[in-house]
Structure 1
Amino acid sequence: MTGGGPGRVVELPDVPALGGLYRRGVVGSARAAATRRSSVRPEDLPGTRVVVRGVQADAAHLTAYQHLLGERADDVLPAGFVHVLAFPVATALLVRPEFPLPLLGMVHVANRVEQRRALRLGDAFDVEVHVRDLRAHRAGVTVDVVAEVTVDGARAWEGVSTYLAKGVRLTGAERPSGDRTPFVAPAPTGQWRLAADEGRAYAAVSGDRNPIHTHRLAAKAFGFPRTIAHGMDTAARALAAVGPARGEAYRWDVEFAKPVLLPSTVAVRVAREDGAFALAAWNPRTGTPHLTGTVTPLT
């Protein structure tokens, strides 16, 4: 492990286990709550980069992911599966003491992926993660967590996950208004029936065992009447619905709205519009949106 000052590179010997990282995150979040840090400055964001080299997908892991999310069975790694492989590396950065926001309670509000070439089972690649762009949000502050995947030094995949830390203020910045374009439910092209144990099923293939997805009491502690689906579960299902038409190189953009309470039936629309595929998922009874997005082929 190398380090020492701003811009340091922390190289891990392998992909860390998420369980231990979450325990560190809980301790760090408790410490942050005890100090009552309610504001951050742009310069508080560290320049640290966390790197793991020689990452490879496991065939059984890929198969389990494909079966759950509805991806076709082949050796190409879906962009959502690459996110799963990079996520523990990102979490290792978020639980470091120099990261200024508490992990516990951070909300995933958007995800943007650019896949420049197909990654396949058997490829060895490097994962490097850094954070950028603290900015004011109507409910707190947001930060981008950037994961870059390279093969032989060439970037093959980049994912930008935007997280919201509620109740934290960015010093010197005005909070934007809460105005949003109203969501109007379109004509559905399908639906998902997500069972009560969907959170546990996705946790098994992603390693993300955040208890709000797996335990009813933990979900209630955060204000939800029951467990909620992972945002990346629903986003990956929408990506899978596009299918082979997305090609091997594509951009995948998703914004998350209200979480999906489990169990639920979710209305879905995946349709080609102006050279891209528009994505939407919503509650068919209330019209409340769960996610919107696009998949844009790049070749």
Structure 2
Amino acid sequence: MTSPATQVVLPRVPSLGGLYGRGLVASARLGVTGGARSAGRALPDVTYVVDDVRAQADHLTAYQHLLHEAATDALPAGYVHVLAFPVAMALMVRPDFPLPLLGMVHVANRVEQRRTLTLGDRLGVRAWARDLRPHRAGTQVDLVTEVASGGDLAWRGVSTYLAKGVRLADARDEARDDSVRPAFTPPVRTGRWELPADVGRRYAAVSGDRNPIHLSPLTARALGFPRAIAHGMYTASRALADVGAARGDAFTWSVEFAAPVLLPATPDVRVAPVDDGHEFAVWHPRTGRLHLSGTVTPLPGA
């Protein structure tokens, strides 16, 4: 997975609050109001780099408490995502990024953790964008983030986003992803989560991701949702926490997001062992509508 050779070294991990402000301005410039829109075909040909990133003990503890992770010095894979995500988002608000941040949907995430990172490790973060491609509902792009310690790659995340209604310039004749998600039949649940109305605000306080769709019914309705919705990475990370120590130290963690979780909520959950690891699913208990599904699989040799 080759990153662009041109590097932009940032002095520190940027604040997500400031990035959202820049993203709103950039979205307005790209034209996010009404109808299909056209996007350029070039991604920023740069890799963003931040050196000497360190986890803070109180921050890690707050994350572990909220996500039901064990209280140890090990950094959960979802917590590493929290630390590194702003570096990737800084790419998405660049003036030359072709897709608008406003309305971008996180549709999938894949993490490869090669070894456990711990409190006190000095981390190096790199991020870049790749694979701008047409989709039946708009345009998709991957944001790749790598985290190293002691010069060795320890963690890599690939987040896939969909810009709905945004079409690549001159892409009419290109094949688009017209795949249909298989029908979901709720399995036997192994648990049920109790997600209060304020869990979006609580995860925002830990992650820094204060997207208005997660904060309150009022701000969510302004962006087309009847109520605030849970962060996708909150629900994915809760499922990873439910797998627990059985995931081991080195694994891949893949998730696909289907329907948002409207807060408050009491979704049904299944986390179960399979031949090559664990699988999980989260769904609405009454309608059976799938919210997310995924797998946790040990790396070969782990």
Q: TM-score, normalised by structure 1?
A: 0.95
CA-CA distance at 1:34 after TM superposition:
7.1
Q: Determine the C-alpha separation between the residues in 1 that align with 2:205 and 2:284.
A: 25
Aligned mates of 1:150, 1:118 — CA distance in 2 = 11
2:296 maps to 295
- The match for 2:177 is 176
Residue number in structure 1 paired with 2:251: 250
Matched, 1:157 2:155: yes
Aligned position for 2:98: 100
Question: Unmatched 5+ residue regions in structure 1?
Answer: 1-5
1:3 matched to which residue of 2?
none
Structural RMSD (CA): 1.5
Q: Is the 8 A contact 2:32 2:102 kept in 1?
A: no
1:89 to 80, 87, 91: 87
Distance 2:21 2:242 in 1: 35
Deviations 1:44-83 (A, max 9, x none): 1121111100000000000000000000000000000000
How many residues were matched structurally?
A: 293
CA distance in 1, matches of 2:112, 2:177: 27
Partner Cα distance (2:270, 2:255) in 1: 13
Moved more, 215-224 or 112-121: 215-224
- Asked if the contact 1:7–1:46 (Cα under 8 Å) also holds between the matched residues in 2, the reply is no
Q: Secondary structure at the match of 2:266?
A: strand
Offset, 1:104: 1.0
**CA separation in 2, counterparts of 1:75 and 1:297?**
21
Instruction: Write the deviation string for residues 242-263 of structure 1: whole angstroms up to 9, x where unpaired.
Output: 1111111110000000000000
Aligned to 1:188: 189
Distance in 1, Cα, partners of 2:5 & 2:24: 25
Q: Distance in 2 between matches of 1:71 and 1:245?
A: 13
1:54 is aligned, of 48, 52, 55, to 52
Aligned-pair identity in percent equals 63
SS of the residue aligned with 1:204? helix
1:37 deviation in Å? 8.3
Unaligned ranges ≥5, structure 2: none
Deviations 1:186-213 (A, max 9, x none): 1100010100001001001100000100
1:121-152 CA-to-partner distances (Å, cap 9, x unmatched) read 00001000000011121210110000011112
Paired residue secondary structure (2:75): coil
**Matches for 1:196-215 after TM superposition, within 5 Å:** 196-215=197-216
Letter in 1 for 2:91: L
Contact 2:40 2:98 in 1 (8 A): no
Other-structure match for 1:68: 66
Distance (whole Å) between structure 1 residues aligned to residue 271 and residue 225 of structure 2:
28
User: Would the aligned equivalents of 2:236 and 2:255 in 1 still touch at CA under 8 Å?
Assistant: yes
How do 1:7-86 and structure 2 match up within 5 A?
Answer: 7-33=5-31, 38-42=37-41, 44-86=42-84
Spell out structure 1 runs of 4+ moving beyond 3 A.
34-37
Q: Quick one: distance in 2 between partners of 1:167 and 1:69? A: 33
Aligned equivalents of 2:66, 2:183: Cα separation in 1? 32
SS of equivalent residue, structure 1 residue 184:
coil
Alignment match, 2:221: 220
Q: Give the corresponding residue for 2:275.
A: 274
Q: C-alpha distance in 2, partners of 1:256/1:149? A: 24
Q: How far is the alpha carbon of 1:216 from its aligned partner?
A: 1.7
CA-to-aligned-CA distance 1:88-145 (integer Å, 9 cap, x gap): 1111111111111111110000000000011000000100000001112121011000
